[in-house]
A and B are shown apart, each in its own frame.
Chain A
Amino acid sequence: MRGLVIGLGSADRGDDGAGLEAANALARLVPEDVAVRSLPGREITLLDHWTDAPLVIVIDAVVSGAVPGTVHLVDVSAGRLRLGTPPGSSHAFGLAEVIELGRALGRLPERLIVLGIEAADCRAGAAVSGPVRAGLREAIRMALAEVGGS
């Protein structure tokens, strides 16, 4: 396997489902030697998946204060992610913590890219909102540019 795309998030929490929707769409668009997986829930399981391929793209919703739908591309190989306050619980052991744990253990893929889609509305039961849906399409385009494919 040359590449692996992983969608994160929660399908029942509005814009937090953007990463999962992007992964679902990419499953039909990526080349044969690229796999797509959805891992809603505990991010810590990422450690068991991303050593499967040299290139891994993780797509997740983020909140940074940017305009909703903005897609942030973070090349993890470039340096440590800035962590906020220490995780208050293992429930909050999120993507940034798992990436740093993977780095500490020497278990990061050769190249790891995070596509963060800026979220606006993560209410329970809501669908992905309009501006974020545009960001979702942009994230799909950016992922395909990395792995190749239609």
Chain B
Amino acid sequence: MASRTRTIRIDGLTRVEGHGSVYVKVAGGRVVDAELRLFEAPRLFEALLAGRQFTEAPDITARICGICPVAYQMSACQAMEDACAVTIPEPLRELRRLLYCGEWIESHTLHIYLLHAPDFLGFADGITMARDHGEAVRRGLALKQVGNEIVTVLGGREIHPINVRVGGFYRVPTRAELAGLRERLPRARDAALETVRWVAGFEFPEAQLDCELVALRHPTEYPMNAGRLASTAGLDIPVAEIESRIEEEHLRYTNALHARLKERGAYLTGPLARYALNAERLSPMARAAAADAGLGAVCRNPYEAIVVRAVEVLHACEEAIRIIDAYEAPDRPAIAVPPPSHPAVGKGCTEAPRGMLYHRYDVGPDGLITAARIVPPTSQNQRVIEQDLRAAVERSLALPRADLERTCENVVRCYDPCISCATHFLRLELDET
């Protein structure tokens, strides 16, 4: 019997951040190739950082992404402070967590309401969905706006904040400036709780990821900007050892490097991983909402990542309230950070909305960056996305072509890929024989 080849090509993935495509080749009823092709032009940020002052890295790398610039600033600052052997005082690290809460709220809420929910409710896009689910979308936009306001107050403006520096901030807010935010946060928290309940009511396809889940873990905090790198398979290393355990390689079909754990293979970073490794560190209301949503101790269904994102938004609202309530303006907005006295290497790792973001810089005594390495979350998640695509297509081969293409797009959107970050990605091609 002649075998049949089918090719699925999705040439322009929609409702993802940036530009990419999917190519799937099926032969004899089995998926032979499943490729996530991130064709956004390479951004070359690591090269252009060479020769710049170490103090410039937070603002330069923030330009990698309009959705998660804070994550870049946080990992860059942490790495430079490591290179210069300084530790910022706890009140400044708390303020950085508050800024990060704003970005988590903005980024997750945008993905939940405008990019991902249409998949579960059967709409082509968020605009069409808004005509039938106006109340929900209005709630989402109001919640996102509170995230924007946090970023504006702490970061100076809502996109590409400009107030973060190595050593702290250029300016810290007064208690009065935070009071306005504080007034709006209880309503945002209520909207976040309602978001968890809304998405928990969606119907989720059956799927289970069997990969290793990797995230920062901290003794007491749900991780944002501190902790060791841990996994569901027992990995537990300091940030300084990340490069000895994670390797990247260039594949011909994608402009983003593929990452894997040495001798272990594909792994997933992001909300599912953070939750699996840190659920007990969630704020009380977020922990209760997760339980009510039926998440369990570990969630390995990628479709349910939308529920975990909603739980993380609720956590971020509660965390923001906690930080503001305890806030006393620090004596000074930043500590002095002189360049290292000898060539030094600095490493930083924080939890961007999409997962862990690692930076490493080599810095000379003149303060100039001599080498830079940036490992963004989407780059790390590509292998797992491809494995999931392969499994989803094999489960769905009997579906008509249009449904199969939709299935592939739905799979990719579960991971909220940020292609602009990863190419420092989507088109679907299905090839079947």
Q: Are B159 and A42 in contact (CB under 8 A)?
A: yes
Q: Are A104 and B14 in contact (CB under 8 A)?
A: no
Give Cα distance in the complex from A100 to B131, angstroms: 10
> A150 interface residue, CB < 8 Å from B?
no
> A88 interface residue, CB < 8 Å from B?
yes
Q: For residue A52, give the distance in angstroms from its CB to the closest CB of chain B.
A: 13
Return chain A residues, CB-CB under 8 Å to B19: 88-89
Give Cα distance in the complex from A49 to B408, angstroms: 36
Q: For residue A51, give the distance in angstroms from its CB to the closest CB of chain B.
A: 11
> B12 interface residue, CB < 8 Å from A?
yes
Q: Are B124 and A86 in contact (CB under 8 A)?
A: yes
> B115 interface residue, CB < 8 Å from A?
yes
Chain A residue nearest to B137 (CB atoms) is A105
Return chain A residues, CB-CB under 8 Å to B131: 104
Q: Are B420 and A90 in contact (CB under 8 A)?
A: no
Q: Are B114 and A89 in contact (CB under 8 A)?
A: no
Partner of A48 from the list B13, B67, B145 (CB cut-off 8 Å) is: B145
Q: Which positions 27-63 of chain A face chain B at CB distance < 8 Å?
A: 41-42, 44-45, 47-48
Number of A residues contacting the other chain (C-beta, 8 Å)? 21
Q: Are A88 and B14 in contact (CB under 8 A)?
A: yes
Q: Are B127 and A45 in contact (CB under 8 A)?
A: no
8 new A-B contacts, CB < 8 A, other than A85-B12, A91-B18, are: A41-B160, A45-B148, A47-B141, A48-B148, A88-B13, A90-B114, A91-B17, A93-B114
Chain B residue nearest to A107 (CB atoms) is B138
Q: Which positions 1-59 of chain B face chain A at CB distance < 8 Å?
A: 12-19
> B333 interface residue, CB < 8 Å from A?
no
Give me 23 A-to-B residue pairs in the complex whose CB atoms sit less than 8 angstroms apart, sorted by A's number: A41-B160, A44-B110, A45-B158, A47-B141, A87-B15, A87-B125, A89-B16, A89-B17, A89-B18, A90-B15, A90-B17, A90-B115, A91-B17, A91-B66, A101-B126, A101-B137, A104-B128, A104-B130, A104-B134, A105-B137, A105-B138, A106-B134, A107-B138
> B71 interface residue, CB < 8 Å from A?
no
Return chain B residues, CB-CB under 8 Å to A42: 66, 159
Which 10 residue pairs of A and B lie closest in terms of their CB atoms, listed nearest first?
A: A104-B130, A41-B159, A104-B131, A101-B127, A100-B127, A88-B12, A105-B134, A86-B14, A89-B17, A105-B130
Interface string of B106-149 (1 = CB under 8 A from A): 00001000110000000011111011001001100100010010
